[in-house]
Amino acid sequence: MSGKKKAQPAATRCGFVAVIGAPNVGKSTLVNRLVGAKVSIVSPKVQTTRSRVLGIAIRDNAQILFIDTPGIFAPRRRLDRAMVAAAWQGAGDADLVLLLIDASRRQPDEETARIIEDLKRADRKILLALNKVDLVKQRERLLALAAEMDRTGCFSDIFMISAETGDGVDDLMRVLVSRLPSGPWLYPEDQITDMPMRLLAAEVTREHLFRQLHQEVPYALTVETESWEDFEDGSVKIQQMILVEREGQKAIVIGKAGARVKAVREAAQAELQEMLERRVHLFLAVKVREGWSEERERYKDLGLDWEA
Ligand SMILES: Nc1nc2c(ncn2[C@@H]2O[C@H](COP(=O)(O)OP(=O)(O)OP(=O)(O)O)[C@@H](O)[C@H]2O)c(=O)[nH]1
Ligand SMILES: [Mg+2]
């Protein structure tokens, strides 16, 4: 889990950079790339990230504390409300705010328009990155989008990047570093996130559930690590519970003759093994817990505000 150890230089910078935007624009992909390791789960579906995730990067004399946030959208359920509140709170607490837009979308998305309206009211200059430029064939379309965004008057800088390929990301990083306040590093040099391993392990399983399940099912479930046992031979036994809301969803998660949960278990176990650099024995159980998304306890673990 730990990166290479770097000695802290004499004159240091340190600060929080919140990455905000509509769902699915590539916020988590970007944070992982900037950190150089996976700290936040990614999927092709909207609303993958559910809570604030801290990703820590070091560049020259600076320690940059990236806050990956849930996508901002019109919330309906309690969980949605808490996710959106966490995103705005992430922005409020940060030294710098970076708004990400999916430049490959043909239609201007309503969510981004609403976010920009809210930013205007907040009267705060923020940085903008047009992401997924690898998917945009016509340069003119990008330039037109950049000009349109510039006219809003909300942005101090506009970048064109691909979080996926890394295109333009170095430039962005350089500017972020130059805008950070001076100050001592807040985390040890080799730390890349503040997320407890049990929670990160649950997120890895949730990512594979998101990738392998469709329609409402990914949104109706949550994953919790119930036990974590280290063995002398270096291996670890991790037991997790997948909570769903209804019997029908449980049947879908389990799949025919247990095929779905088996595939998820294998994928998550392989990924955990790589992250932890040790043998992992992952055990998954699926349980119906009607109304888990209304339970206060579930929110505390995720650092979400139940009353948001
Ligand atoms: N082609 C391309 N795909 C990208 C890029 N950045 C992200 N993606 C893909 O876009 C999808 C969403 O990425 P995420 O990083 O999960 O997006 P997010 O903004 O964190 O989404 P939420 O957490 O749901 O708000 C995934 O399938 C990514 O692989 C990019 O620069 N180019
Ligand atoms: Mg995300």
CA distance 222 to 220: 7
DSSP 294: G
Which H helix or E strand runs over 173? Answer: helix 169-179
Sheet strands (E) in 60-151 = 62-68, 96-102, 126-131
> Would you list the DSSP string of 26-72?
SHHHHHHHHHTS--S---SSSS---S-EEEEEEETTEEEEEEE-PPP
Return the SS3 of 104. Answer: coil
CA 101 to centroid of ligand 2, rounded, Å? 13
**Ligand 1 mutation target, pool 24, 73, 105, most atoms within 8 A of CB:** 24
Kindly give the distance from the C-alpha atom of residue 194 to the centroid of ligand 2, in angstroms, as a whole number: 17
Helix (H, G, I), strand (E, B) or coil at 178: helix
pTM here is 0.96
Q: What is the bridge-based pairing of β-strands 62-68 and 53-59? A: antiparallel
| pLDDT by residue, tens only, the chain of 308 residues | 444 555 677 799 999 999 999 999 999 999 999 999 999 999 999 999 999 999 999 999 999 999 999 999 999 999 999 999 999 999 999 999 999 999 999 877 899 999 999 998 887 889 999 999 999 999 999 999 999 999 999 999 999 999 999 999 999 999 999 999 999 999 999 999 999 999 999 999 999 999 999 999 999 999 999 999 999 999 999 999 999 999 999 999 999 999 999 999 999 999 999 999 999 999 999 999 999 999 999 999 889 999 99
Among protein residues, the one whose CA lies closest to atom 7 of ligand 1: 26
| DSSP 3-state percent helix, strand, coil across the chain (nearest 5) | 40, 25, 35
15 Cβ inside 6 Å of ligand 1? no
Task: Quote the pLDDT of residue 6.
Answer: 59
Regarding the beta carbon of 160 and ligand 1, being less than 6 Å apart is answered no
Does the beta carbon of 222 sit less than 6 angstroms from any atom of ligand 1? no
Atom of ligand 1 nearest to the CA of 165: 31
pLDDT digits (tens, 9 = 90+) for 28-68: 999 999 999 999 999 999 999 999 999 999 999 999 999 99
Structure confidence at residue 208 (pLDDT): 98
